[in-house]
Every structure is written in C-alpha cells, then in structure tokens.
Amino acid sequence: MMAAAAALTLALWLLLPSVGVGGAGPPPIQDGEFTFLLPAGRKQCFYQSAPANASLETEYQVIGGAGLDVDFTLESPQGVLLVSESRKADGVHTVEPTEAGDYKLCFDNSFSTISEKLVFFELIFDSLQDDEEVEGWAEVVEPEEMLDVKMEDIKESIETMRTRLERSIQMLTLLRAFEARDRNLQEGNLERVNFWSAVNVAVLLLVAVLQVCTLKRFFQDKRPVPT
C-alpha cells in the first residue's frame, strides 16, 4: 500500500503544476509522461490541470503484463465522460478546445485477477498562449532593419521548426514505449522457451535411463546356476 501511495504521489507531482507564490500567475502547463505498475484487480486515476481553449492529446500504451490490455476512461472537469475504452493495448485521444480545470484519466485492470500491467501514458498540450509568447519576440524588432529577409518568413520558419521538433520528441517517446513492450514480450518468451527446453531435456534423460535399464533386464541371464 505504501508503494502504491508513493507512486500515486509521484504521478500527481509530475502531472500537476505547482501553485504560484506571492500572487504570481500560474505557471504554464507542460507536457508530461509517466510509467506505472497497475496491480491486478485495481483501478488507478490521475488528474491533470488544463487551461481553457487549448488542445490536450493523451497517448497511452500497455507495455507489460499478460494480454497487454487495460480499460481507459477520460472525464472532463465537469464530470462528462469523453472517452471510454475496454480491453485496449494503446490509444490516442485529443480534446480540443479544453475546459479550465482538472481532467480525470483512469486505467482499470479490474477484469484481470492475476496479471499486473505496466502502463505508459503521455500528455501533450498545445496552448494558444504559448503560440502568442513565441510570436511576441518579433514585436520589438523593426522589419525594415532586416537585410533582404522578411520578418514573416523568419517567424514561419521558426514556428515550423518548433512544431517538427515537438512532433519528433513525441514520436521518439512513443517508439521508446513500443520498444519497451517488445522487450518485455521477448523476455517473457525467452523464459518460457528456457523452461520448456529444460523440461524436454529432463524427459529425454529420463527416457534414456529407462531404456538402458530395460535393455539390461532383457539381456540378464535369469537361469538358475547348476550346483
């Protein structure tokens, strides 16, 4: 129980932004990712704060455990059920525009009574406020002072590069989750292959011993020795 409480506390600390001090405004919402172990027959929920009029993309993937499946639900700050999936290995969902408040993400493994699941999920925000901050640096520069280069072209190039870099990071994170799931499958298959190989070797040795003993009994002279 203490380990589960510690994992939940760490998840909330990673996902929820800290509260401002001294009347300062709330810090910008940042993307986050988390991997946790979901015990058999248990349900675990996470809460993520979101600003208004933004875009929230949720990606999850079961990377370990028998069946590689889990139930997933996503609720709005008003308690409206936005997404409900049953026995899925992965999923990608986008909420746009978002409402100001805490979104609830739940992963349910109640249908499994034996196998625990290793779950990875990622939250990606695309806030209009961030776009305004990126474009704000151009207000202090006079376009006429640039040498044969238009300011709009520079802004468009930088924005395109930023978008592609963010998408590259997201794809690399997702590929890392796929790699972890494949590695877990290969390790599980290796354990099963080694176990049944050892069983087959033991059976072969036992059969060989029994055959030798049987042949010895066939060739033994059981006639009584004359006195």
Distance (Å, rounded) from C-alpha 164 to C-alpha 151? 20
pLDDT band of residue 173 (cuts 50, 70, 90) is: confident
Question: What is the reported pTM?
Answer: 0.53
Q: State the pLDDT at residue 21.
A: 39
Q: Where are the domains of the chain?
A: 29-129, 151-198
* DSSP strand pairing (90-95 vs 101-108): unpaired
Q: pLDDT (tens digit, 9 = 90+) per residue, 21-66?
A: 344 444 556 677 888 889 999 999 999 888 888 888 888 988 888 8
Cβ-Cβ contacts under 8 Å for 188 (sequence gap 6 or more)? none
Q: From residue 158, give the alpha-carbon distance in Å to each of 73, 74, 137, 163.
A: 36, 34, 12, 9
Q: How far does the chain reach from its first CA to its final CA, in angstroms?
A: 81
Q: pLDDT (tens digit, 9 = 90+) per residue, 89-147?
A: 888 888 888 889 999 999 999 998 888 888 888 888 876 554 455 455 455 555 555 55
pLDDT band of residue 175 (cuts 50, 70, 90) is: confident
Q: State the pLDDT at residue 189.
A: 80
Question: 3-class secondary structure for the chain?
Answer: CHHHHHHHHHHHHHHCCCCCCCCCCCCCCCCEEEEEEECCCCEEEEEEEECCCEEEEEEEEEEECCCCCEEEEEECCCCCEEEEEEEECEEEEEECCCCCEEEEEEEECCCCCCCCEEEEEEEEEEEHHHHHHHHHHHHHCCHHHCCCCCHHHHHHHHHHHHHHHHHHHHHHHHHHHHHHHHHHHHHHHHHHHHHHHHHHHHHHHHHHHHHHHHHHHHHCCCCCCCC
Structurally, what CATH architecture does the domain formed by 29-129 represent? Answer: Sandwich (2.60)
Nearest to 180 by CA among 126, 105, 122, 123: 122
Peptide bond into 51 cis (omega under 30): no
* DSSP strand pairing (32-38 vs 54-64): unpaired
